[in-house]
Amino acid sequence: MKTFNLRSIMWAIPFLIGSVALTSCDNDDDDLNDNRTYVISGNASGSQVVPAVSGSGQGTVTGTYNSKTNTMNYTSTWTNLSGAPTSAGFYAGNAGASGTLVGNTWTLGSGLTATGTTTGTIVLTDAQETQLLNNGWYYSYGTATNTGGEVRGQITTTIQ
Alpha carbon distances (Å) from 123 to 50, 93, 128: 26, 18, 9
Give the chain's domain count.
1
Cα atoms in the 13 Å half-sphere on the side-chain side of 21: 6
Phi then psi for 99, rounded to 5 degrees? Answer: -130, -170
- At 46, the pLDDT band (50, 70, 90 cuts) reads very high
Instruction: Note down the domain range covering 46.
Output: 41-109+117-152
6: in domain: no
2: CB partners within 8 A, 6+ apart? none
List, for residues 64-83, the tens digit of each pLDDT value: 999 999 999 999 999 999 99
Residue 20 lies in a domain: no
Q: Where are the alpha helices (DSSP H) in 30-143?
A: 126-133
pTM of the model: 0.79
Q: What pLDDT digit, counting tens, does each position of 89-100 carry? A: 999 999 999 999
For residue 88, being part of any structural domain is answered with: yes
